Amino acid sequence: MSAEYLNTLTENASRLGMRLQETLSEHTRDLALTRSSAAIYLDGADDKKRNIRKQLDSNSDREKLDAMKRLIALISKGRNVSEYFAQVVKNVASQNLEIRKLVYIYLLRYAEQEPDLALLSINTFQKDLTDSNPLIRAMALRVLSGIRVPMIGSIVVLAIKKCAADVSPYVRKVAALAIPKCYELDNSHLPSLIEIITTLLQDRSPLSIGSVAVAFEAVCPTRLDLIHQRYRRLCKVLLDVDEWGQVELLNLLLRYARTMLPRPMTKPEGNEIDSDLKLLLDSCEPLFQSRNPAVVLAATRVFWYAGLPSMHIKFAGPLLRLLHTSKEVERVVLSYLLVITRVETTLFTPHYKQFFLFSDDTRQVKTQKIKVLLRLLTFDNHQAILREFIDCADDVDDQVVSDSIHAIGRCANLVPESTQQCLSALVTMIKSNNDVMVSNAVLVIKNLVQGQLSSSTTHRSTSSISIISHLARKIDSIRHPAARACVIWLVGQYCSITESSAGGGSEGIADWAPDVLRKSAKSFIQEDVIVKLQIIILAAKLLVMSTQSTYSKTLELLSSYVFSLARYDPNNDVRDRARMIASLLAGVYPSLGDEQNLEERKGVVLRREQVKVVLFNGKAEAVDVDEKDEPNVLLGSLSAITGRSSLTDRILPEWLEKGVGSSLRDSPDDVPVVVVPTAFGSGPGRGGPGSVAGGQSKRGFGNQPDVLAPSGSSSGSGPGGAGAKKANGWTADLDKFYEESSSEEEDDEEDEDEEDEDEEEGEEEGSEESESGSGEEDESNSGSRGGSDGEKVKSEEDEESHDNTTRTGTGHTTSPRQEAYAENIWDK
Amino acid sequence: MGLDGIIILDNMGRPIIQSGFRSSSTAYPLLHIDTVNKALQKAASPKEIDPVLYIAPYNTADDPKPSACCHVECGDIRMLCPISGDVDPLTAFAFMQTFIDILREYFGTLSVATLRDNFDVVYQLFEETLDAGGHPLTTSSNALRDIVLPPSLLNKLLNVTGANLTSTMNSGLGHASGPFSSPIPWRKAGIRHANNEIYFDICEELKAIVNKHGTTVTSIVRGKVEANSKLSGTPDCLLTFTNSKVLSDCAFHPCVRLQRWTRDRALSFVPPDGRFTLFDYRYSPSAIMANPNDAAISARDNVAIPLALKTNIDAEDNGASFDVTLSSRLSTHALENVEVELCLGQGAGGIKCALSRGLGGGGFINASGRSAEGTAGASWSYDSETTVLQWRIAIVPPSSSWSLRGSFTTSARVPRPAHAIVVRFEISSHTFSALKVDQLKVTQEQYKPYKGVRGRSSGVVEWRW
């Protein structure tokens, strides 16, 4: 019996064990599957698509999540999976946040492409807009504004309006970004959108203000009048805005300053600069220390286009710092430096060494550095920079070689004292084995020599001629066609100028010239077309110059050989040139022309002197072309980088003759500034070392009422208690707080805007802070970014306003109301 | 107007992941991918590609805006950021850098494999960091961690078992640590660590060019202080240096209070949690002098190069022979992971090399305790694709010298080796600036954190011959 019992027991146990093992292995298989990678979704075959629909309809979150991941993977592969839209939309209200997020991602992709289907889900989004989680609210708005159906325009406007008054600055930020999309969809909503922007501009949170600037620029860029009253506060808040918002805000403020403020003037008796412009420049200056290159550049733009030239020195260091952040940033910043150095070089002249070329620089960086170095070239540093160019002429990249050799030529033009050095460097390069180097050096020498000979001071021409003779002797080793053509032209053009010192030449021709013709005539057939053309001209020039020369007979023979070769050349140009030159010389050497029709020829026959004039004179001095960048390229624009201007470029407004009246910019916000002395009076009293620390902190996070989440019981508790509670209360629930505070105040107004609550919270915060003044810990904890007095004062103001509110018992939501209310303060 | 989106390509140029594009045409991202791939094919080496590629408007009637493609290579992936209209490419590059940093923080390493493994997380990150209108949203990693959960084994376990951690964490009782509840954008609320500790790494990099006479033409040392903070609550730190005068051209993490720095050159900040770069700077040896913008001073601004190189390259027809000697000028520290690179130019081959170790530094016992004798630890290799000859020495003890002799042939008659030899090296527990932390005070919290500082430096010296 007992044995039987035992038997069943063991049997059961083993069965249980097996079952356990089964389930366990099943689970671990799943585990291994997910852990090994989600990549299986990406690699998965398409035949699994069939299941997706079923999975989406299933009850299990796991199945749904799996299906959503599959869908996202298919999107990633570039498949169109809009067919599942209906099933996906059903899950938009899923309790699982991860599923919901993936559903949103799916909808954001297809809302644009399948607007009609997206309409199905609008109700859900509207419901989501009231979700307790700010993340859900923001995502719902993002999807809603992404649906491109003009029909729902007014729904979107309402949603934006609602979110613009949200308690979470994150949601307000998303609301601001939704405005341009809504405007794009249907611009008939412009008035209500502008109204929302006006409200948002009041926002006290630095988190959302950058996006408001985006919306402003996209929707109503001309309504700068909306900025007037907020200008000063926007300047002050600049430092606390997130880095991307700083870029947008700086661009907006710069545009405002250029349109509305008087132009700053440098005058001998002192600089004339508007106080509001100075405020912008002062609050912009710390941003040069940002780690984000885009912010540094935006700040540079402000100083460059709105600052006095004496202030430009401030961005020199920061821009140079950017050169070391990354290769790509270096490339872009160098382009901007070229824009700046075209106007002002002295800023960077002391730092010229930072532009020396590293061999691992990219090609663009190298060529740009060469351009910058040329701009920075002065008499004092020309030695070092020239040496750098000479070193770079050895680079492995042919483009860089050519650029640096041309730079050497420019160097000689810019600093005439360095000409000798440049020429001797170039002549050394000609001896090099490197083809590219030789050809470029020859071209540059040609330009230099030509420039020198035309400026014709005798001692210089001596050296130039000796260079030409040197080139003439090296003609065999110069193989590059353009370089060869160039040398041959030089020889022909300057063969006549002989000096007693150069010697050897008989009347009129230097002795090296005929030899060049001899050598080139020999290789005529193999030469490039441009070289052939130059050989013909050389022959003609030598013939004309050698009147009674001993070479004359030889030259004539050589020339007629060249001309007869040229006449039957396969190339049109060469044949034409030969015929043309031959008839030009008809008066001097008739034998060169076509013998048959010599008698029949009519027209003017030129004498030797006339031919000389035709052949030698009127040669324009070749100028080494400087980079042809456009003068009106803006700093920080794409066209400065790509070198192509486009119609969509931003245009920076010109300064007005006189700015608009500064009283326009007075706003209720600035009012308490007048009260500064009293505020300071109470300052030390609040005091202790803690408040000093708080005052020192420039970037803080207090006084941004709605970012801060104070503890639930903010009003009513005693000073000490508030301090202690607040220290712990960092993590308090925002929503709960609002509920409590409103219930405490017994505020029955249901429809009161949430914006209002925000401000009340600010007031709460302000009063609290002053109450708990002696608790230093808490003070510097909340960090009252007090460094600026105005801010400290603001809390004072807020306190006052709080009093005011309680007395009058009215809310204040929109700006006109607030203004009226500000007047109340004045009246007091 | 803005950043149109982000596309991530694998090393074959195929798109793996791309963010949503708000554009009239689906061809738009493809056009950009195509342009980049064409540019990659055309260029002989990746160095020749312009990081900003101009893309002409593909359909003038539909979309008259020309656009440009900014791209960055990072490991085996390439990130593309198409921009259209008039956008500063710096914004695109700054955003891509931020995004790469975020991905690194989420996945540890950044590669095709990790991205494929976590593609759903990457998609969520796209949505949270970049608005469809082309403007960055949330990029602070501390805030992002609340919205997009980083992949962890625990998450996956819970997903498999069906437990719904995310929803409970984000909407239920744990609201205290929910998204956007922190008053400080860069720091999560309610952080708790069992051990409170904060570490600072001072990393400096020397970049210098030395001419053929052995004199330094230009040199610059840039440093950064990387911090790893594991502190509970909301600590307020105050970091002071004994010699803060050597710092110039600084750039700070947003958490640093700038006014405090300008006033008494002390860093006052509430750190984000985890790893971050506190600030970076340039070392200026002449900062003690009055005016840093004076031209005369820049000559004194040079930093001593910790090594010397003697090079002799004889170019002949169809080949060249070379003889390079490297010696350390340091007296106490060893140079580590030294890499000497010489680009031999097109068509080089038939490399023969002999390594030897010269005199000096014989008795030195290196960090690992074994005597560094002979040519152990030195090796050379040649990459025929980039034509770079690389000579590696694991450890160069103080005042020792090493040499490399050899020859190569070229298919072209005239060999064109690069005119400079690039030497890379590292020195541990050493900084060029000798920047020294005076003290770190943590206020606002009760605990005494464990603090650590260490220095590390590296260098790239270009030695011309």
Q: Cα separation of A362 and B88, whole Å?
A: 20
Q: Is B348 found in the same domain as B230?
A: no
Residue B16 belongs to domain with CATH number: 3.30.450.60
User: What tens digit of pLDDT does each residue of A82-98 get?
Assistant: 788 878 877 877 777 78
Assess if residue B327 is contained within a domain.
Answer: yes
A360 to B422: CB separation less than 8 angstroms, yes or no: yes
| Residue labelled with tokens 């072209």 | B412
Mean pLDDT along residues A249-272: 85
Domain count, chain B: 3
DSSP string, B103-169: HHHHHSS-SHHHHHHTHHHHHHHHHHHB-TTS-B----HHHHHHHSPPP-HHHHHHHHHT--HHHHH
Interface membership of A651 toward B (CB under 8 Å): no
Among A305-319, A417-431, A560-574, B198-212, whose mean pLDDT is lowest? A417-431
Q: Cα separation of A159 and A141, whole Å?
A: 7
Contact assessment for residue A446 and residue A622, using Cβ atoms and an 8 Å cutoff: yes
Instruction: Tell me which residue in B176, B209, B220 faces A733 most closely, judged by beta carbons.
Output: B176
Q: CA of B252, closest CA in chain A: separation in Å?
A: 6
Mean pLDDT along residues A360-377: 89
DSSP B321: E
B49 to A647: CB separation less than 8 angstroms, yes or no: no
Q: Is B291 found in the same domain as B212?
A: yes
Contact assessment for residue A738 and residue A167, using Cβ atoms and an 8 Å cutoff: yes
Q: Cα separation of B354 and B341, whole Å?
A: 15
Q: CA of B366, closest CA in chain A: separation in Å?
A: 31
Q: Is B294 found in the same domain as B423?
A: no
Q: Cα separation of A139 and B412, whole Å?
A: 62
Assess if residue B186 is contained within a domain.
Answer: no
Q: CA of A381, closest CA in chain B: separation in Å?
A: 10
Q: Is B450 found in the same domain as B347?
A: no
Q: Which amino acid is at A212?
A: V
DSSP string, B52-94: EEEE--SBTTTB---EEEEEEEETTEEEEEEEESS--HHHHHH
Question: In the predicted model, is pLDDT for residue A369 greater than 80?
Answer: yes
Q: Is B423 found in the same domain as B382?
A: yes
In this prediction, what percent of chain A has a pLDDT beyond 70?
67
Of B88, B28, B89, the residue nearest B63 (C-alpha): B28
Q: CA of A35, closest CA in chain B: separation in Å?
A: 7
User: What tens digit of pLDDT does each residue of A771-820 get?
Assistant: 444 444 444 444 444 344 444 434 444 444 444 433 333 333 333 334 33
Per the structure, the complete domain to which residue B58 belongs is given by 7-150
| Residue labelled with tokens 């400080």 | B184
A62 to B160: CB separation less than 8 angstroms, yes or no: yes
Assess if residue B172 is contained within a domain.
Answer: no
Which residues of chain B lie closer than 8 angstroms to A40, CB-CB?
none
Interface of B with A in 235-264 (CB under 8 A): 236, 248-260, 262-263
At residue A422 the predicted structure's pLDDT band, cuts being 50, 70 and 90, is confident
A62 to B159: CB separation less than 8 angstroms, yes or no: yes
Assess if residue B174 is contained within a domain.
Answer: no
At residue A696 the predicted structure's pLDDT band, cuts being 50, 70 and 90, is very low
State the count of interchain CB pairs (< 8 A) between A and B.
Answer: 344
Q: Cα separation of A132 and A135, whole Å?
A: 9
Bridge-based pairing state of the strands B274-283 and B378-383: unpaired
DSSP string, A62-108: HHHHHHHHHHHHHHHTT---GGGHHHHHHGGG-S-HHHHHHHHHHHH
Q: Is B333 found in the same domain as B413?
A: yes
Which residues of chain A lie closer than 8 angstroms to B40, CB-CB?
none
Give me the residues of chain B with pLDDT under 50, please: 162-177, 288-299, 361-374
A479 backbone φψ class: left, alpha, beta (φ>0; ψ -120 to 50)? alpha
Assess if residue B183 is contained within a domain.
Answer: no
Q: Is B419 found in the same domain as B288?
A: no
Q: What is the pLDDT of residue B286?
A: 67
Q: Which residue of B lies nearest to A385 if distances are taken between CA atoms?
A: B217
Interface of A with B in 415-474 (CB under 8 A): 433-434
Which residues of chain A lie closer than 8 angstroms to B72, CB-CB?
326, 328
User: What tens digit of pLDDT does each residue of A315-359 get?
Assistant: 988 999 999 888 899 999 999 998 888 888 888 888 888 899 988
* Cα distances (Å, whole numbers) of residue B29 to A637, A735, B372, B429: 22, 41, 55, 47
Assess if residue B407 is contained within a domain.
Answer: yes
Buried b (16+ CB within 10 A) or exposed e, A246-273: bbbbbbbbbbbbbbbbbbbeeeeeeeeb
Q: Is B380 found in the same domain as B448?
A: no
Q: Cα separation of A321 and A329, whole Å?
A: 11
Interface membership of B40 toward A (CB under 8 Å): no
A214 to B282: CB separation less than 8 angstroms, yes or no: no
A638 to B68: CB separation less than 8 angstroms, yes or no: yes
Q: Which amino acid is at B113?
A: A
Q: Cα separation of A807 and A763, whole Å?
A: 14
Q: What is the pLDDT of residue A300?
A: 93
Contact assessment for residue A649 and residue A634, using Cβ atoms and an 8 Å cutoff: yes
User: What tens digit of pLDDT does each residue of A655-669 get?
Assistant: 777 777 777 777 665
Contact assessment for residue A624 and residue A413, using Cβ atoms and an 8 Å cutoff: yes
Helix (H) or strand (E) holding B261: helix B258-264
Q: Cα separation of A654 and A262, whole Å?
A: 11
Interface of A with B in 677-706 (CB under 8 A): 693, 696-701, 704
The sign of the CA dihedral A38, A43, A49, A51 is negative
Q: CA of A130, closest CA in chain B: separation in Å?
A: 13
Which residues of chain B lie closer than 8 angstroms to A351, CB-CB?
298
Contact assessment for residue A517 and residue A535, using Cβ atoms and an 8 Å cutoff: yes
Range A736-740 contact pairs with CB under 8 angstroms and sequence separation of 24 or more: A736/A712, A737/A709, A737/A710, A737/A711, A737/A712, A737/A761, A738/A167, A740/A712, A740/A713
DSSP string, B189-241: SS---SS-EEEEEEEEEEEEEE-TTS-EEEEEEEEEEEEEEE--S--EEEEEE
| Residues contacting A91, CB < 8 A, separation 6+ | A56, A64, A68, A99, A100, A103
Q: Which amino acid is at A417?
A: E
Interface membership of B54 toward A (CB under 8 Å): yes
User: What tens digit of pLDDT does each residue of B266-287 get?
Assistant: 999 999 988 899 999 988 876 5
Interface membership of A179 toward B (CB under 8 Å): no
Q: Is B437 found in the same domain as B424?
A: no
Q: Cα separation of A706 and A762, whole Å?
A: 7
Interhelix angle A293-306/A327-343, nearest 10 degrees: 10
Which residues of chain B lie closer than 8 angstroms to A247, CB-CB?
88, 91
Q: Chain-centre distance of CA B365, in angstroms?
A: 31
Tokens of B454: 């260490």
Q: Which residue of A lies nearest to B17 if distances are taken between CA atoms?
A: A76
Name B309's bridge partners. B326
Q: What is the pLDDT of residue A647?
A: 57
| Residues contacting A215, CB < 8 A, separation 6+ | A176, A177, A179, A180, A193, A197, A200
DSSP A496: S
| Residue labelled with tokens 């949170």 | A205
Residue A368 phi/psi, 5-degree rounding, is -70, -35
| Residues contacting A138, CB < 8 A, separation 6+ | A163, A168, A170, A171, A173, A174
Q: Cα separation of A110 and A120, whole Å?
A: 13
* Most A-contacting residue of B3, B42, B131 (CB-CB within 10 A), to test interface: B131
Q: Cα separation of A652 and A253, whole Å?
A: 12
Assess if residue B156 is contained within a domain.
Answer: no
Q: Which amino acid is at A290?
A: S
Bridge-based pairing state of the strands B450-464 and B197-210: parallel
B88 to A297: CB separation less than 8 angstroms, yes or no: yes
Interface membership of B419 toward A (CB under 8 Å): yes
SS3 labels along A739-784: HHHHHHCCCCCCCCCHHHHHHHHHHHHHHHHHHCCCCHHHHHHHCC
Tokens of B366: 């290196």
Interface membership of B85 toward A (CB under 8 Å): yes
* Cα distances (Å, whole numbers) of residue A102 to A107, B104, B250: 9, 22, 41
User: What tens digit of pLDDT does each residue of A593-636 get?
Assistant: 555 555 555 666 777 778 877 877 766 555 545 555 555 677 77
SS3 category, A272:
strand
Q: Cα separation of A256 and B214, whole Å?
A: 54
Mean pLDDT along residues A252-261: 88
Q: CA of A806, closest CA in chain B: separation in Å?
A: 27
| Residues contacting A108, CB < 8 A, separation 6+ | A142, A143, A146, B20, B127, B132
Q: What is the pLDDT of residue A807?
A: 38
Instruction: Tell me which residue in B20, B89, B117 faces A37 most closely, judged by beta carbons.
Output: B117
Contact assessment for residue A277 and residue A264, using Cβ atoms and an 8 Å cutoff: yes
| Residue labelled with tokens 């045409």 | B25
Q: CA of A498, closest CA in chain B: separation in Å?
A: 36
A95 to B162: CB separation less than 8 angstroms, yes or no: no
Q: What is the pLDDT of residue B435?
A: 87
Question: In the predicted model, is pLDDT for residue A761 greater than 70?
Answer: no
Mean pLDDT over each residue of chain A, to the nearest integer:
72
Q: CA of B97, closest CA in chain A: separation in Å?
A: 9
Interface of A with B in 80-99 (CB under 8 A): 95-98
Interface membership of A291 toward B (CB under 8 Å): yes
Q: Is B137 found in the same domain as B46?
A: yes
Interface membership of A109 toward B (CB under 8 Å): yes
Q: Is B372 found in the same domain as B244?
A: no
Residue B438 belongs to domain with CATH number: 2.60.40.1170
Assess if residue B1 is contained within a domain.
Answer: no
Q: Is B313 found in the same domain as B274?
A: no
Question: In the predicted model, is pLDDT for residue A145 greater than 70?
Answer: yes
Question: In the predicted model, is pLDDT for residue A296 greater than 90?
Answer: yes
